[in-house]
Structure 1
Amino acid sequence: MTPRRTLYPPIEPFESGMLDVGDGHSIYWERCGTRGGKPVVFLHGGPGAGCSADQRRQFDPALYDILLFDQRGCGRSTPFASLDHNTTWDLVADMERLRAMCGHEKWQVFGGSWGSTLALAYAETHPERVSELVLRGIFLGTEREYDWLYRYGASALYPEGWEEFAGHVPEDERGDLVEAYRRRLTSDDEATRTAAAKAWSRWEALVVTLLPDPAIVEHSTDDEHAVAIARIENHFFHNMCWFEPGQLLANAGRLKGIPGVIVQGRHDCCTPPESAWALKKAWPDVDLQIVPDAGHLFSEPGITDGLIRASDRFAGKEGI
Structure 2
Amino acid sequence: MTAPAAAPPTRRSGWLPVGGGHVLRWWESGAPGGVPLLLLHGGPGGHSTRAHRALADPRRFRVIQVDQRGCGASRPRGELAANTTDHLVDDLERLRAHLGVEGWVVLGPSWGAVLALALAARYPRAVRALVLSGVFLGAREEYRPLLDGRGVDAAVWDRFVAPLDAAERADVPAAYARRIHDPAHPDHMTAVRNWLAFDAAQGGAAFAPSRIRAGPGLVASVAVEAHYARHRFFLPAEGVLGRAGAVAAPVTVVQGTGDTAGAASARRLCAELPHARLRWVEAGHSALEPRLAKRIRASLAGVAAAVTGGAVAR
Give the match for residue 74 of structure 1: 71
Gap change, CA 1:175 and 1:245, over 3 Å in 2: closer
Structure 1's unaligned 5+ residue stretches are: none
SS in 1 for 2:129: strand
State the secondary structure of the residue aligned to 2:305.
Answer: coil
Which residue is equivalent to 1:314?
303
Q: By how many angstroms is 1:247 displaced?
A: 5.4
Does residue 1:19 correspond to 2:8, yes or no? Answer: no
Amino acid at match of 1:46: G
Contact map agreement 2:4 2:290 (CA 8 A) in 1: no
Please state whether the residue corresponding to 2:48 is helix, strand or coil. Answer: coil
Equivalent position to 2:192, from 167, 192, 197:
197
What's the counterpart of residue 119 of structure 1?
A: 116
| Counterpart position of 2:238 | 246
Q: Displacement of 1:166 after TM fit? A: 2.9
TM-score normalised to the size of structure 2? Answer: 0.88
Change (3 A) 1:247 1:177: closer
In structure 2, do the counterparts of structure 1 residues 247 and 197 end up closer, same or farther at CA, with 3 Å as the change threshold? Answer: closer
Which stretch shifts more, 183-192 or 84-93? 183-192
In structure 2, what residue type is equivalent to 1:296?
Answer: H
Moved more, 175-184 or 57-66: 175-184
Q: Distance in 2 between matches of 1:14 and 1:306?
A: 25
8 Å CA contact 1:33–1:64 kept in 2: the answer is yes
Alignment of 1:1-320 (within 5 A): 7-156=4-153, 159=154, 161-170=156-165, 173-189=168-184, 192-208=187-203, 222-246=214-238, 248-256=240-248, 258-269=249-260, 271-292=261-282, 294-316=283-305
CA deviation digits over 1:250-299, x for unaligned, max 9? 3322123x111112222225x4422111110000111112323x221112
Shift of 1:301: 2.5
User: How large is the RMSD of aligned CA atoms in angstroms?
Assistant: 2.5
CA distance in structure 2 between the aligned counterparts of 1:119 and 1:30, rounded to whole angstroms: 18
Aligned residues: 304
Deviation at 1:309, TM superposition (A): 1.4
- Which stretch of the first structure deviates more once superposed, 10-19 or 196-205? 196-205
| Counterparts in 2 of 1:6 and 1:171: CA distance versus 1, 3 Å | farther
Deviations 1:109-148 (A, max 9, x none): 1111111111111111011111110111222212212213
How many angstroms apart in 1 are the aligned matches of 2:130 and 2:3? Answer: 20
Amino acid at match of 1:240: R
Give the conservation status (yes or no) of the 8 Å contact 2:118–2:244. no
Deviation of 1:313 (Å): 1.3
State the SS of the aligned residue for 1:233. helix
Where 1:316 maps in the other structure, the secondary structure is: helix
Cα distance in structure 2, aligned partners of 1:43 and 1:213: 29
For structure 2, the residue ranges without an aligned partner over 5 or more in a row are 307-314
Distance 1:301 1:83 in 2: 34
Residues 287 and 61 of structure 1: is their aligned pair in 2 closer, same or farther, counting only changes over 3 Å? same
Which residue of structure 1 aligns with residue 309 of structure 2?
A: none
> How far did residue 231 of structure 1 move?
1.2
CA contact (8 A) 1:181 1:196 kept: yes
Q: Is the 8 A contact 2:193 2:214 kept in 1?
A: yes
Distance 1:65 1:191, change over 3 A: farther
